Structure 1
Amino acid sequence: MKSAKIVGMFLSVLMFLVGIAFAASWPDTVMNKVNEFHELEKAKKEMPPSLEGIPNISGDKAYELWKSKKAIFLDNRIKTQYDTEKIPGAEWFFCDDLIKQGPSMADRLDKNKEYVLYCNGIKCWRSPSVAVMLHSLGFKVHWYREGLPDWKKERLSD
């Protein structure tokens, strides 16, 4: 009798945790795109030139948004890269954490603001992945496909 109660409690807790995990996960359509981008990077291929429903902005447009402070820049690279160099004023918003933590990680962002997402350029999978995930949640995002290499080359913050 006692073991039946323990098993019942265990199953209840397990079902609750599975429910939480399921509720916090990304839709298959979103994860399929994220996985597609990751595979492109592994194959050392460029990311697509555009993402459905998401503006791909040039360095000039990125600079205009940065200078006017009309958008918040989110650096989607690993922390050591962010700590070493970044677009001035950019916030760290790690792609891998967003995948693992699920949509709730975006709760700290404001849907009334615009965001520019960038990473290590045209062969980096992180910023297009974050763009697709945040766009699926209704955020207004701009994808700076050329990312930090373009910013540095053009000395856009000088």
Structure 2
Amino acid sequence: MEKRIFKDKAYSMLATMIKAMANSHRLEIVDLLGQGEKAVEEIANETSMSIANTSQHLQVLKAANLVEIRREGNFIYYKLGHEEIYQSWQMLRELGLKHMAEMEKLVNDFREKRNSLEALKMDDLLKRIKSKNVVILDVRPETEFKNGHIPGAINIPVEGLATRLKKLPKNKEYVAYCRGPFCVFADEAVQILTQKGFNAKRLGEGFPDWKMKGLPVEIIEE
């Protein structure tokens, strides 16, 4: 094989894989599947797409070996093909946040309106995590919490947070986290908490980022 043919084929194969991710909906799906396996219906609901459109995007990702499927009765479940796929998304996301001024402004404007502009870095959380004064709130859905969470975190999905406030002591510092920098659950949680006089911040990153660092993870077995 001539070297030009070799290079053309190699770059073409990589371009096919990159093209599969080069879509806003499919990037969101990859981000979502970083939380764990999900049914098509769950993905459609989370991404505000029809089941038909969601299935089409998932088939594109599957054709590029980016996701795998598992069938259980009439349901089809999807998960990322391997851990490196989320890492590639993570690197792309960080590149955008660091070097695209428009993206930085978008994130800051959104968080400023929800009192969550001052996000806590993971290194800072690690320093505070042993303090009895810090409460770590996982505001993701319960199924995601059970699949893995930061040790010691308590799960209060954001849609039920307002009804649980009376049971939360106000003399604590609250750190809310969710799926990642583009997940709005933690921002909504901080907004709810601060409006009621709680000291609350969001974690800048999400649970997958915690896991990718090789930090301890708790799982709740059924």
Shorter chain as denominator, the TM-score bin is: 0.5 to 0.7
Distance 1:123 1:104 in 2: 25
Q: In structure 1, the residue corresponding to 2:107 is in which secondary structure?
A: coil
Match 2:150 to one of 83, 87, 91 = 87
The 5 A counterparts of 1:107-122 are 107-122=166-181
Structure 1 CA distance for aligned equivalents of residues 195 and 160 of structure 2: 17
Q: Relative CO higher for 1 or 2, CA cutoff 8 Å, sep ≥ 6?
A: 1
Give the structure-2-normalised TM-score: 0.45
After superposition, give the CA deviation of every residue in 1:11-61 in whole Å (9 maximum; x if it has no partner): xxxxxxxxxxxxxxxxxxxxxxxxxxxxxx86xx99724436543110101
Partner of 1:63: 126
Deviations 1:76-108, CA, capped at 9 Å, x for gaps: 00000001100001001110123xxxx442111
Match of 1:7 in 2: none
Conserved 8 A contact 2:122-2:204: no
Q: What is the TM-score normalised by the length of structure 1?
A: 0.62
Identity %: 31
Return the alpha-carbon distance in structure 1 between the equivalents of residues 214 and 128 of structure 2: 15
Whether the 8 Å CA contact 1:127–1:145 is kept in 2: the answer is: no
The number of residue pairs the alignment matches comes to 113
In structure 1, runs of 5+ residues without a counterpart are: 1-40
Are residue 48 (structure 1) and residue 111 (structure 2) matched?
no
SS at match of 2:200: strand
Amino acid at match of 2:126: Y
